[in-house]
């Protein structure tokens, strides 16, 4: 059989007589056409069969990317929540420390503010720790009832306020052993010193009676002369505060003042190099009135180790300290 033999022929003649056009299909051409159509059909079938897998992979890539983005967002959110929990734990711990100091000052039984709550744990147990702190704060709030308190002085008289505005002074000398600004050697500091602007208003830390106002003079009060002009307030119950390094006083002896009232202005004394205010608080302890760390009474002051300070409010300073008796014109007991 001749493969080039004409199998099918199509002719069409032009109406204007320009000639005849032919489309000839031989047996060989027919076979090629059939094989081409078969191959094309097979390719179409392969494409159709592979399309679900390709679409699945195509759309699956979008799903994986979305899951990864969501996981990253969740991790970031978890990190932010942990950071917020840490900040909350720090604020609660600071609040609890302030509450414990106030409880000590107003005579709440020691069993309610001791022992201290352990430091904030890791992320796994932070919720339990927060509940423990909240329970302790609730217990202290219940104990801070006027009828249950036993402060040495009335609540309005207790020296609980800074002697200068919160943003008006900077503590430069804390209670305890401090380096002398003149010799560099450790010396006992029985109060707190704030550096501030000269003439800054000095405020009464608590209500009381002015028992001294002026500049000490004479050998019997030499220990107090280093503070320059001072004001001494008697808050009652053996609680006394001494304000020193004053430029001038704004009160007189025998005057009754309230907490936050201006009693003088900041100045420079022989023992300061810059304008400052000194505050010393004496508290009834062991049958007498002894200097204690003002940070136990003033929550705005920092405390490095509150438990140690509550155990020893005098911070281990020497037992001998200047007496107020000669300054107030009283005989030493």
Establish if 244 belongs to a structural domain: yes
Burial class (CB in 10 A: 0-12, 13-18, 19+), 202: buried
* Domain count for the chain: 1
Q: Are 49 and 35 in contact (CB under 8 A)?
A: no
* pLDDT on residue 106: 82
* pLDDT on residue 10: 58
Q: Are 280 and 191 in contact (CB under 8 A)?
A: yes
Q: Are 9 and 25 in contact (CB under 8 A)?
A: yes
* pLDDT on residue 103: 82
Q: Which of 51, 80, 278, 63 is nearest to 164 (CA)?
A: 278
Q: Return the beta strands (E) in 2-158 as ranges.
A: 6-13, 20-26
Buried b (16+ CB within 10 A) or exposed e, 81-93: eeeebeeebeebb
Pairing of strands 239-249, 262-266: antiparallel
Specify the length of the chain in residues.
333
Position of tokens 């107030």? Answer: 328
Distance separating alpha carbons of residues 324 and 333, to the nearest angstrom: 11
Establish if 40 belongs to a structural domain: no
One digit per residue, the tens of pLDDT, for the chain of length 333 reads: 555 565 556 566 666 656 666 666 566 666 677 677 777 777 766 665 666 655 555 555 667 777 788 888 888 888 887 787 777 777 777 887 888 888 888 887 777 667 666 665 566 667 777 777 777 777 777 766 666 677 888 888 999 999 999 889 999 888 988 887 777 788 888 999 999 999 999 999 999 999 999 999 888 888 899 899 999 999 999 999 999 999 999 999 999 999 999 999 999 987 787 899 999 999 998 778 899 999 999 988 888 888 888 888 888 888 888 899 988 875 444
* pLDDT on residue 333: 45
Establish if 199 belongs to a structural domain: yes
* pLDDT on residue 124: 60
Establish if 271 belongs to a structural domain: yes
* pLDDT on residue 186: 87
Establish if 331 belongs to a structural domain: no
Establish if 206 belongs to a structural domain: yes
Establish if 288 belongs to a structural domain: yes
Establish if 272 belongs to a structural domain: yes
Q: Note down the domain range covering 189.
A: 169-311
User: Where residue 283 sits, what CATH number does that domain have?
Assistant: 2.70.70.10
Count other C-beta atoms under 10 Å from residue 253's C-beta. 15
């Amino acid at each position: 059989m001749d493969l080039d033999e004409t199998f099918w022929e199509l002719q069409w003649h032009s109406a204007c007589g320009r000639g005849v056009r032919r489309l000839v299909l031989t047996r060989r051409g027919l076979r090629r056409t059939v094989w081409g159509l078969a191959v094309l059909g097979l390719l179409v079938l392969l494409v159709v069969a592979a399309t679900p897998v390709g679409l699945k992979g195509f759309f699956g890539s979008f799903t994986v990317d979305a899951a990864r983005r969501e996981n990253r967002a969740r991790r970031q959110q978890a990190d932010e929540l942990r950071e917020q929990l840490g900040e909350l734990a720090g604020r609660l711990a600071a609040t609890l420390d302030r509450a414990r100091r106030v409880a000590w000052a107003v005579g709440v039984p020691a069993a309610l503010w001791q022992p201290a709550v352990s430091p904030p744990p890791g992320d796994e147990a932070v919720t339990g720790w927060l509940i423990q702190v909240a329970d302790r704060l609730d217990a202290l709030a219940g104990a801070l009832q006027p009828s249950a308190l036993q402060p040495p002085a009335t609540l309005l008289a207790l020296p609980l306020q800074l002697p200068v505005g919160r943003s008006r002074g900077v503590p430069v000398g804390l209670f305890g052993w401090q380096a002398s600004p003149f010799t560099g050697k450790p010396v006992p500091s029985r109060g707190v010193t704030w550096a501030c602007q000269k003439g800054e208003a000095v405020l009464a830390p608590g209500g009381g009676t002015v028992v001294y106002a002026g500049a000490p003079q004479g050998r019997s009060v030499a220990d107090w002369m280093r503070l320059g002009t001072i004001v001494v307030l008697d808050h009652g119950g053996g609680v006394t505060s001494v304000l020193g390094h004053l430029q001038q006083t704004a009160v007189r002896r025998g005057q009754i003042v309230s907490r936050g009232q201006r009693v003088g202005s900041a100045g420079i004394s022989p023992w300061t190099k810059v304008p400052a205010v000194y505050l010393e608080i004496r508290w009834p302890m062991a049958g007498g009135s002894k200097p204690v760390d003002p940070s136990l009474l003033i929550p705005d002051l920092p405390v490095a180790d509150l438990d140690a300070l509550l155990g020893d409010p005098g911070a281990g300073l020497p037992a001998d300290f200047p007496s107020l008796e000669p300054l107030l014109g009283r005989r030493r007991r």
